[in-house]
Amino acid sequence: MSQQNATSAEIAPSREGFADRFWTSGDGLKLHFRDYPGRADRPVVLCLPGLTRNARDFSHVAERLAGDWRVICPDLRGRGDSAYAKDSATYNPLQYAEDLGLLLQQEDIGRFVSIGTSLGGLLTMMFAMAMPDRLAGALLNDVGPEIAPEGLERIRSYVGQGRSFPTWMHAARALEEAQGAVFPDYGLAEWLAMAKRCMVVGGNGRIVFDYDMKIAEPFSQPGGEAGVDLWPGFAALKGRPMALLRGELSDVLSPATFSRMAGTLDDCEAVTVPRVGHAPMLDEPEAVALIDRLLARVCKIDGAAVS
């Protein structure tokens, strides 16, 4: 659940290859990130999650890259082990970008590679406009400057509902019922794993989604998904290694927008993950290979050795 009641800002002991660490937002919220250690001669890999998701979504990515790369996986405000905001209006991309800028400042991160899923991809494009010289490369996972209206409506239909479940099995079955069309090949093991990434055991012992239900309030407003025109942000990604990933069944990133994006940037590789909707989990073979190729290109440009 949220780290709102934590009293110590010290680094938690390492477990599973990462340290639980914190930074403070401009309005005083204690925000959490997972810090996986890696080589100091390479840019940091910054993994940014989707609207209702958290740092746990990237555990398989970070565990695979750690050692060769330092990987930072933040929980945005109101998610995971980050504090909940008093003002729900601060649940917006401009605020998230400001929060993350303070994280980069605290950790003295000069250059970084951004891997952004959905909302995280929107933030990546915002970074390209705000700090272009610091972005060493990027992967946009199933998101672009234009978001398909049908995908937005589907997301708005479930965000902030506050459902709870008596057991992990019930939670997994509920996810399967709601998102079976997004991941048609998932079995029970995959649905259970997804439930444990996006839910936690609440104070009353029931399984609940691991985010502040109030994040739905600004998102429900027109323009709440981004708030700015992001085609300039996408154009600002020019001149660095880029990777685009789309789920074949996605209702958020249309084939037409994906094609336009792929044709806009020179050093850009676009890959579609078959039989997956919004959004690929980045453990698919196509996604794993794409990430590795992207990071190899980053190494080549930044002059770091490729292991």
pLDDT in tens, 56-113: 999 999 999 999 999 999 999 999 999 999 999 999 999 999 999 999 999 999 999 9
pLDDT in the model for residue 266: 86
pLDDT in the model for residue 4: 36
Kindly indicate the confidence band of residue 284, based on its pLDDT and cuts at 50, 70 and 90.
Answer: very high
One-letter amino acid at 60 equals H
- In angstroms, what CA-CA distances link 223 with 92, 156, 169, 178? 10, 12, 36, 25
**How many whole angstroms separate alpha carbon 70 and alpha carbon 86?**
32
pLDDT in the model for residue 3: 37
Q: Is the peptide bond before 279 cis (omega within 30 degrees of 0)?
A: yes
Kindly indicate the confidence band of residue 220, based on its pLDDT and cuts at 50, 70 and 90.
Answer: low
pLDDT in the model for residue 16: 74
In 3D space, the residue among 53, 81, 75, 251 whose CA is nearest the CA of residue 159 turns out to be 53
Chain segment 222-254, per-residue pLDDT in tens: 554 444 678 999 999 999 999 999 999 999 999
The CA-CA-CA angle for residues 44, 49, 53, to 5°, reads 145
Chain segment 131-184, per-residue pLDDT in tens: 999 999 999 999 999 999 999 899 988 899 889 999 999 999 999 999 999 999
CB-CB contact of 146 with 258 (8 Å) = no
Counting every residue written for the chain, the total comes to: 307
**How many whole angstroms separate alpha carbon 95 and alpha carbon 61?**
26
**How many whole angstroms separate alpha carbon 112 and alpha carbon 138?**
9
Q: DSSP for 228-254?
A: S--HHHHHTTTTS-EEEEEETT-SSS-
Token code pair at residue 223 = 């323009």
What are the start-end ranges of the H helices in the chain? Answer: 59-65, 93-106, 119-130, 149-158, 168-179, 188-198, 216-219, 231-235, 255-264, 285-302
Helices 119-130 & 93-106 angle (0-180, nearest 10): 70
pTM of this prediction exceeds 0.95: no
Token code pair at residue 281 = 């989990």
Chain segment 207-217, per-residue pLDDT in tens: 999 999 999 99
CB-CB contact of 203 with 210 (8 Å) = no
Phi/psi for 303 (5° steps) reads 80, 10
**How many whole angstroms separate alpha carbon 131 and alpha carbon 87?**
27
Task: Using the Cα atoms of residue 61, residue 119, residue 238 and residue 40 in order, give the sign of their dihedral.
Answer: negative
**Residue 55 predicted with pLDDT over 70:** yes
Task: Using the Cα atoms of residue 69, residue 134, residue 91 and residue 178 in order, give the sign of their dihedral.
Answer: negative
Residue 271, SS3 per DSSP: strand
CATH, domain 19-148+222-302, list 3.90.25.10, 3.10.20.90, 3.40.1550.10, 3.40.50.1820: 3.40.50.1820
Token code pair at residue 216 = 């739905």
**Residue 306 predicted with pLDDT over 50:** no
Domain ranges, ordered by start, for the chain? 19-148+222-302
Residue 199, SS3 per DSSP: strand
pLDDT in the model for residue 15: 59
**How many whole angstroms separate alpha carbon 258 and alpha carbon 249?**
13
